[in-house]
Amino acid sequence: MARHGGRGWHGRVIAAAVGVTAVAAATSVWTAQAGQPGGGPAAPGVSARPTAPKAAPVSADIAHASDGGAHAVNITIDDGPDPVWTPQVLQVLRENGVKATFCMIGPLAQAHPELVRQVVAAGHRLCDHTVSHDTTMDKKSEAYQSQQIVQAEQQITKASGGVRPMYYRAPGGAFTPYSRHLAAGDGMRPLGWNVDSKDFERPGSAAIVSTVKRELTNGPTILFHDAGGDRSQTVAALRTLLPWLKQQGYSFGFPVR
C-alpha cells in the first residue's frame, strides 16, 4: 500500500498536544494490561481503559474485503474528526443511506467528542488511526508503536462514550507484524484499502471520482479523508460517487472482522 505524502501537519500539531510524558505513561498502561514483561500498575494520573469491555482478539491479517459480499464496497474516512468537514461527510452519507468506517486520530477525537458520538449514533464504525499519524511508524520502536495505538484507542473510546474502535489503520499503511498483532489482540482488525481516492492531494472532485471509478476493480475498500485541510472536494466527490455506486448495483458494507 502506498504511503501518503504531505501529512506533516498531523505530526506537528498532534505531537505537541500529546507530549513526551504521555508516551511513557501510555506504554505503562499497555504493558500492565497486556501482561508484557515489565508490566505493572499504570503510571500515576493515567486511568485504566474506559469502561467498555475488552474486545475479543480478531485476525491480525490486514483486512481488505467487505462483509457485504462480492458486490459491496466499504467507504472509509480517515484523519478526523474535523468540526467543519466531518458533519458534511456525515450529511452526505445520511442522504444516501450509507454507513462508513471512520479512522480517527486520537487527540482529534478527544477534542471533538460530540462528533465521535454523532458518528456512532448514525451507525458508522470507529477505527484507531493512532495519536500522531506518523507514516514512519514501521521504523520506530515497539514501545512507540504501542503508545500510538493504545493511547489513541483509549482517547477514541472515551470520546465515544465507551464504544471501542473495531479496526486499526496504520498511517500510510505503515503496519508491522508487531502493530498488527497488538491491535488484533485488543480487538481491532488491521484495516487496509484497495482504492486510494487521492482526495488528500485535492486534485478536484472530478479527478477523485475518476480515480475511484478507475481503481474500483482493485477491491472494495475505498479511502477518503475528512480532515487535513479543505475537504470540500471530497464532499463533492462523495455526492457523485455514492449514487453512482448504487446505480452500478453496489451495496455498502463494512470491512471484514
Asked if 4 is an active-site residue, the reply is: no
* 107, 17 contact by CB (below 8 A): yes
Q: Give, rounded to a whole angstrom, the gap between the first and last alpha carbons of the chain.
A: 20
Are 63 and 167 spatial neighbours (Cβ–Cβ below 8 Å)?
yes
Cα 155 to Cα 173: distance, rounded to the nearest angstrom? 21
SS3 category, 78: strand
124 is catalytic: no
Pairing of strands 100-104, 125-128: parallel
Contacts 24+ apart (CB under 8 A), 19-22: 22/131, 22/147, 22/151
Eight-class DSSP state of 199: G
Which position among 4, 10, 124, 225 bears the catalytic label? 225
Q: What does the angle CA 171 – CA 82 – CA 16 come to, to the nearest 5 degrees?
A: 60
Q: Which of 78, 79, 134, 199 is catalytic?
A: 78
Contact by Cβ (8 Å): 102, 126: yes
Contact 58, 67 (CB under 8 A): no
Note the residue count of the chain. Answer: 257
The distance between the two most distant Cα atoms of the chain, rounded to a whole number of Å, is: 55
Q: Which residues are catalytic?
A: 78, 225
